[in-house]
Amino acid sequence: MATDTRAGQAIYNPRTLPLYDLVVLRLSNPLIWRCPTARILALYDRHAGRSHLDVGVGTGWYLDRCRFPTPAPRIGLMDLNADSLAFAAGRIARYRPETYRVDVLGAPEGGIAPFDSIGMTYLLHCLPGDIAAKAKAFDTVRPCLAEGGVVFGATILAGGVPTSVAARALMRIYNRKGVFSNAADTLPALRAALDQRFQSVEIAVVGCVALFVARAPR
């Protein structure tokens, strides 16, 4: 669950961030969304490059545990929530991460040296609007992607994927509270948004989570 939203800024703070790993990674992922956290970590292990930008950083759990192709990767953290940026940066302080406080629905982000990979995990389902609107996040971070680089991530969908009774109930609660904004997020809409922007798109569905990998921006 990303923190790169205005609602996320209110919900995720120094008091609540320490609970994130328990609630989201240990409980919700395997039991509610039916996507084991290990599946998302494997996405990082396969695709995180020698230089990697994470957008919507949560607590930095995946960056803390994934296997980078070098012992000293260049890592960037991008989020609108200053508390999340500080929490994640402290967690992976050994990598001396760069931090960028950015609204991913704003103008394309320039002036940042490009990264080999960009991770956008549990970001889209927290952004306002439908998939077509929130996919602007891909346009915002596009200038940060190096030639030949890869964008990957995961998002929780409400349509076009199997959803359990528990998943639907929790999504309704989160959408009412403004934590999620994914009531209209569907698998076909996600694929269309990615296909519009990238020449190579792979999507795997695990539970109600879509794991995506995109290359070669159009």
Does residue 11 belong to any structural domain of this protein?
yes
Contact in structure between 58 and 83 (CB atoms under 8 Å): no
Residue 18: what pLDDT? Answer: 86
Residue 15: what pLDDT? Answer: 81
Residues facing residue 75 across a β-bridge:
52
Q: Which domain holds residue 142?
A: 6-217
Does residue 1 belong to any structural domain of this protein?
no
What are the Cα distances from residue 191, in Å, to 29, 187, 198? 22, 6, 10
Tell me the pLDDT of the chain (218 aa) as tens digits. Answer: 454 444 445 577 878 888 899 999 999 999 999 999 999 999 999 999 999 999 999 999 999 999 999 999 999 999 999 999 999 999 999 999 999 999 999 988 889 999 999 999 999 999 999 999 999 999 999 999 999 999 999 999 999 999 999 999 999 999 999 899 999 999 999 999 999 999 999 999 999 999 999 999 99
Does residue 79 belong to any structural domain of this protein?
yes
* Phi, psi dihedral angles at 55 (to 5 degrees): -115, 120
Instruction: Please give the tally of structural domains in the chain.
Output: 1
Q: What is the pTM of this model?
A: 0.94
Pairwise CA distance, residues 154 & 97, whole Å: 22
Residue 10: what pLDDT? Answer: 59
Residue 1: what pLDDT? Answer: 44
User: Any idea what the CATH number is for the domain that residue 131 is in?
Assistant: 3.40.50.150
